[in-house]
Chains A and B, each alone.
Chain A
Amino acid sequence: DADVTQTPRNRITKTGKRIMLECSQTKGHDRMYWYRQDPGLGLRLIYYSFDVKDINKGEISDGYSVSRQAQAKFSLSLESAIPNQTALYFCATSEQGPYTGELFFGEGSRLTVL
C-alpha cells in the first residue's frame, strides 16, 4: 500500500459544488502539504500543516480550506468549486525538525470543474 494515499483519484464536478479531497499517510510524519499542479506552472502550495494544531496558508489559498483531523489525515475542501480550480492536486508529507526537506507525495487527485 502507498505511504501517502489520496482519495478520490479522479473527480468531475460542477461549478458551485463543494468538494473534499482526502489525504492519509502511514509515514508517521508531522508535516503535511497540499499542492496544486498546473501545466507550465509547476507545483504551487495551497496549505500546509506542521502539526495537528498548526495550519498555514500557502501561495494560493483563496477558495480553499483544510482540516487536519489527525496526524495522519489532512483534507482539502473547495467550498464552491469554479472552473479555474480544475487541476491536479497533490498531498505530500515531510519529517519534522531540522531536516533536508524531502517531500513524499501521493499519486494525485485530478479534479475537473465544469
Chain B
Amino acid sequence: AQSVTQLGSHVSVSEGALVLLRCNYSSSVPPYLFWYVQYPNQGLQLLLKYTSAATLVKGINGFEAEFKKSETSFHLTKPSAHMSDAAEYFCAARKTSYDKVIFGPGTSLSVIP
C-alpha cells in the first residue's frame, strides 16, 4: 500500500531562516504529490502540487518543492521564514488521478522571532 512519511513532527526555525520540511513516499510509480497547509482553526489548503510537468514546483507564499524520484522524496522549502508561516504542513500523494489521496502525519512549523 502506498504511504507517505514526514520526518519530524515538529520543526522550529528562526524568522528569516530556511524552512525545510521533509516528505518521502512509497510507490512503485511516481505519484501525484501535494503539500497542504493548515493554519490554526482552519481547514487545509493547497500549497503546491507535482504532476510530472516539472520536478521543481513553485507554490503559494514563496514555498517550493522538488520531486526526486531516486530518493522518493518531495521536500518543501522556503528561503526565508515569516511568522505567518507557522502552521501544520501535510504532504499527500495519490498513485493515479483516480485514486484516493493519502496524507502524511503532518509537521508542525514554529517560527521564532
Q: How many A-B residue pairs have CB under 8 A?
A: 54
The answer to whether A45 has its CB under 8 Å from any CB of chain B is yes
Assess the B45–A101 pair: CB atoms within 8 A.
no
B32 in complex: contacting residue of A42, A48, A101, CB < 8 Å: A101
Name A96's closest neighbour in chain B (CB-CB): B98
The digit string for A20-53, where 1 denotes a CB below 8 A from any CB of B, is 0000000000000001000011111100100000
Provide the bound-state CA to CA distance between A58 and B43, in Å.
20
Binds B, one of A11-19, A77-85, A105-113: A105-113
Beyond A41-B105, A42-B103, whether A101 also contacts B44 by CB under 8 A is: no
Question: What range describes how many residues of A lie at the interface?
Answer: 20 to 34
Assess the B100–A48 pair: CB atoms within 8 A.
yes
In the complex, which residues of chain A have a beta carbon less than 8 angstroms from the beta carbon of B101?
Answer: 45, 101, 103
Name A40's closest neighbour in chain B (CB-CB): B105
Assess the B49–A100 pair: CB atoms within 8 A.
yes
With A102-B49, A103-B36 already in contact, 14 other A-B pairs whose C-beta atoms are closer than 8 Å: A35-B103, A40-B106, A41-B105, A42-B106, A43-B103, A45-B101, A90-B43, A98-B98, A100-B51, A101-B49, A102-B34, A105-B43, A105-B45, A108-B41
Q: By DSSP majority rule, is chain A's interface helix, strand, loop, or mixed?
A: loop
**Sample of 5 A–B contacts (CB below 8 Å):** A43-B44, A43-B103, A100-B51, A100-B97, A105-B44
The digit string for B23-39, where 1 denotes a CB below 8 A from any CB of A, is 00000000010101000
In the complex, which residues of chain B have a beta carbon less than 8 angstroms from the beta carbon of A45?
Answer: 100-101
In the complex, which residues of chain A have a beta carbon less than 8 angstroms from the beta carbon of B14?
Answer: none
